[in-house]
Structure 1
Amino acid sequence: MMSQQQNELITQVGPGTKCGALMRHYWHPVALTDELPDERPAKAVRVLGQDFVLFRDERGRHGLLDRGCPHRGADLAYGRLEDGGLRCLFHGWLFDVDGKCLETPAEPDGSVLCQRVRQKSYPVVVKNGIIFAYLGEGEAPAFPDFDCFLAPGTHAFAFKGMIDCNWLQALEVGIDPAHASYLHRFYEDEDPSGEAYGKQFRANSADSNIPMSRMMREYARPTIDVEGTDYGLRLFTLRKISEKHTHVRVTNLVFPYAFVIPMSTEMTITQWHVPIDDTSCYWYAIFTSFGKPVDHQQMREQRLQLYELPDYKPRIGRQNNYGYNITEQKSQTFTGMGFDINVHDQWAIESQGLIQDRTREHLGYSDKAIIAYRRLLLSAIGQVSNGEKPLMWLDPAQAATVRGPATVDGMAPTEGWESYWKEFDERRRKESSWAAHTRSPLVA
């Protein structure tokens, strides 16, 4: 059982906290590129309990600055985008993407004040529809050669959604292999050739004619194994169907707070859980296709049915009891909360409270991945406290060796499933128009 002090240690990420010091060793998603439209490419963002302004200048360069103007603290998020930077509305001070003060127009002619002023700025990188920022001090780590970053834009789609609670419980639901058999249980199976595109657990497993919804429903007590990797954890979830066949699901925890999971036979999801502060977070996801190009419009329209702009807040949530319907719960779904698994997850995550009280929990066998992750997290916090680089802080040479990760959702032979998932990953890559040119994550 966890103590209150331990729970605070692993959930608090603001400035001056130990977990916050760990988190500032990594790149963080701070916005979708869609959130900086041409008519107004600037917005306020809050990450790790800090407030920033993100903008794109006339040359197309992205900048992330502290939000309060260094003159007298006015809000730069309302600033004018002009003359090579972002201009404060209060006295017209102008800052470029690097935080350099270009003008202090209210000062007397000949003033050199702007030469002595610099706004705090942060490195920014755009990756397949997501804007990442490095919020720490010193050198930033390199990006790993993950599939979601290597895929061409035609084969990747990015989206996000707000969650009204602590980031850690959002991540822990995502790396819990057992919950899908209950939380996402449907009593009727859709035609996988119909409306399954862009929806998890609604298509058939690979090398199988069994819909995933049926698989999860009828084989609800999986065998779970967890192994350490150079990026975090690899999770194996096995459901024995017969003496000859076993369903294999391979998912991944990418430290510090992402997971990579299969969405269908040709698509994977890489999802980050970014703390806004200690009591709210955003999930950011890149959907990566190894097969045909992604239908960006369809996937966006599907998700905008559940999330509303501009803040990507869920339309169904705490405010309307997650759409709970007792009649539906009796005959159609386990939850009675509709057929979108994002609503189910939102309920599971938020119903634990703004910050889950882990002093009261009783973990079991199915929580193997949760336990393993918490150990990794505590170890990494200790490393940073001792002045060491934590897991997944990568230099360029290391980043080039961290690939994949492989995900599989398929029917394997009971004897030999260990090689099946590797062969499946190799086959999918070789048949892919873009992944065939990348190195397999399973080959040194």
Structure 2
Amino acid sequence: MISQQLNDLITRIGPDTAAGAVHRKYWQPAALTDELPDAVAGEPPMLPVNLLGERLVLIRDAAGALSLATREAAADEPPAHHPARADIKLVAGGPTYPVVEKNGICFAYLGGGDAPAFPNFDCFRAPESHVFAFKGLWQCNWLQALEIGIDPGHASFLHRFLQDEDPSDGYGKQFRDKAANTDMPITQVLREYPRPEIKVEETDFGLKITALRHMDGDLTHVRVTNQIFPSAICIPMSREMIITQWHVPIDDENCYWYTMFTSFQNPVDKAVMRAQRLKEHSLPTYAPLKNRANNYHYDPAEQKSLTYTGMGLDINVHDQWAVEGMGPIQDRTREHLGRGDAAIIRYRRMLRKAIKELETGQAERLPMQDRQATSQLVGPLSNDAITGSEDWLAASLAADQERRSAAPWDAHI
């Protein structure tokens, strides 16, 4: 457990907060490219954006360049509100921020001074044909949204499927594939081996998290995921795809997850993946159709025979229920962390260290602030594999290299 003062320190992200200052030193997703409207009567496209506690508007000028400007808004404006174009009023002389488009997401930098470089991660260097971007609204603080993503153990419980689907029908869905080097569905692995050994290593970009599920027959399931500082994760979706997901604060009590689905070998079927996700979300806010108001469509009959949660097959709904159920801001003064929370503990230490370094004028010591070094970062490795228990590390690396070698784009590391 931690004190209320410390919980406030690491969760609050407004313009005058310590954790907010850290977030502003990094490129943050501000909108999907698809969200930008067309120009109206010769006026530039404008999209309202609420980001890091600020009311902003995304603007594309006549030359095609993007920027974020400050706009006027009522103090009680809903977090995902989209006012009409005629109601958008810019703040005269207000700050503007640079914006860069990357494979379907518009990233903004709110930190002042020189913006950091983008790492050469797979989601950024893959061609547009191999990346699909989407987002969703969660009504909770960004930190609890991130922390569920760096907890390898939760998948064996929260995402427990009592029946294993045919992996050939699982395109575009997580935990529907078979683990590399085996015919065992990932859902079966997670269900039958729920208590992984967790190893956490600090990296130049954040954390590498390895979950080892020791299986019968002297086999080990190796699942490698990553925390990308300050608020993103990179995890395997299938043998073909990885997920890079940012947990972006709208304000202290709401956040968006932005995801890039990156395919190594084949182009992404964007129409299929978008249709899958629009069955669960409403536009233009990208709010989930299953939510607290309708009890996340909980079905006790389903819970008996199909899923642990009884809330359908979309794992985003499971995660949403878990993180929103903690309240707008999780009360960490009452928690009791254990060995399974190794990555969460290590991440909080990283965040507190970054806060201290920024407050003492040592911003260059934050992860990925060296432009040259950051631009040369590749990967990260994110995959599932089953192998002999003694050579799990080599097998994990080999599985990663195998799919990279089949990519028609430069995926080498």
Q: Scaled by the length of structure 2, what TM-score is found?
A: 0.93
**Cα deviation, residue 59, structure 1:** 2.5
The aligned residue for residue 107 of structure 1 is none
- Deviation at residue 164 of structure 1 after TM alignment: 0.2
| Match status 1:26 vs 2:30 | no
Q: How does 1:340-379 map to 2 (within 5 A)?
A: 340-379=314-353
Equivalent position to 1:303, from 274, 277, 302: 277
Superposed CA offset, 1:326-378 (max 9, x none): 11112211111111111100001100000000000011111111101011111
Q: Partners of 1:79 and 1:42 in 2: how far apart?
A: 7
* Counterpart contact for 1:42–1:77, Cα < 8 Å: no
Match of 1:395 in 2: 370
Moved more, 266-275 or 335-344: 335-344
- Aligned residue for 1:108? none
Distance 2:19 2:88 in 1: 36
Aligned to 1:193: 168
Q: Establish whether residue 203 from structure 1 lines up as the match of residue 213 from structure 2.
A: no
**Alpha-carbon distance in structure 2 between the residues aligned to 1:142 and 1:169:** 27
**Deviations 1:193-224, CA, capped at 9 Å, x for gaps:** 12x00100111111110111111111111111
Per the alignment, residue 51 of structure 1 pairs with: 55
Q: Secondary structure at the match of 1:188?
A: coil
Report what 1:7 is aligned to. 7
Whichever residue aligns with residue 253 of structure 1, its letter is: Q
1:40-68 per-position Cα deviation (integer Å, ceiling 9, x unaligned): 63111111101101121233221210113
Work out the CA distance in 2 between the residues paired with 1:412 and 1:432.
23
Could you tell me how far apart the structure 2 residues matched to 1:59 and 1:309 are?
Answer: 28
Question: Retained in 2: the 8 A contact 1:222–1:239?
Answer: yes
Aligned position for 1:125: 100
* Deviation for aligned residue 1:77: 6.9
Distance 2:370 2:378 in 1: 14
Q: Aligned in 2, Cα 1:394/1:439: closer, same or farther, shift over 3 Å?
A: farther
Shift of 1:79: 5.6
Q: Distance in 2 between matches of 1:57 and 1:140?
A: 21
Is the 8 Å Cα contact of residues 72 and 88 (structure 2) preserved in structure 1?
A: no
Q: How far is the alpha carbon of 1:118 from its aligned partner? A: 4.0
Tell me by how many angstroms 1:414 deviates.
1.0
Q: Which amino acid aligns with 1:298?
A: V
What TM-score do you get using the length of structure 1 for normalisation?
0.87
Q: What amino acid maps onto 2:49 in structure 1?
A: V
Distance 2:302 2:217 in 1: 35
Aligned to 2:145: 170
3-state DSSP class of the match of 1:416? helix
Compared with structure 1, are the counterparts of its residues 22 and 188 closer, same or farther at alpha carbon in structure 2 (3 Å cutoff)?
Answer: same
Match of 2:69 among 41, 65, 78: 65
d(CA) in 1 for partners of 2:354 and 2:62?
Answer: 40
Who is 2:124 aligned against? 149
Closer, same or farther: CA 342–257 of 1 in aligned 2, 3 Å: same
Tell me, yes or no, if the aligned pair for 1:248 and 1:409 is still in contact at 8 Å.
yes
Q: Hey, what's the Cα distance between the residues in 1 that align with 2:18 and 2:62?
A: 38
Contact kept, 8 Å, 1:247 with 1:409, in 2: the verdict is: yes
Does 2:191 correspond to 1:217?
A: yes
Aligned-partner Cα distance in 1 for 2:202–2:406:
28
Alpha-carbon contact 2:404-2:412 (below 8 Å) kept: no
| Structure possessing the higher radius of gyration over alpha carbons | 1
Q: Deviations over 1:104-135 (max 9, x none)?
A: xxxxxxxxxxxxx7442101100000000001
Using the TM superposition, give the Cα deviation of residue 140 of structure 1 relative to its aligned residue in structure 2, in angstroms. Answer: 0.8
Report whether the alignment pairs 1:261 with 2:235: yes
SS of 1:123's equivalent in the other structure is strand
User: Which residue is 1:38 aligned to?
Assistant: 38
> What is the Cα deviation at residue 438 of structure 1?
4.2
Structure ranking higher on relative contact order (CA contacts 8 Å, 6+ apart): 2
* Farther-moved stretch of structure 1 (12-21 vs 259-268): 12-21
Structure 1: which amino acid aligns with 2:114? E
Structure 2 letter corresponding to 1:197: Y
TM-superposition CA deviations, 1:157-202 (whole Å, max 9, x none): 00000000100000000111001111011111101112x0010011
Deviation string for 1:47-97 (max 9, x for gaps)? 11011011212332212101139xxxxxx97567xxxxxxx988xxxx9xx
Which residue identity lines up with residue 323 of structure 2 in the other structure?
A: I
Give the letter for the 1:147 counterpart.
D
Q: How many residues align?
A: 400
Uncovered stretches (5+) of structure 2, i.e. residues with no partner: 74-81
The 3 A distance-change label for structure 1 pair 45 and 171 is same
Name the structure 2 match of 1:158.
133
Name the SS for the 1:60 alignment partner: coil
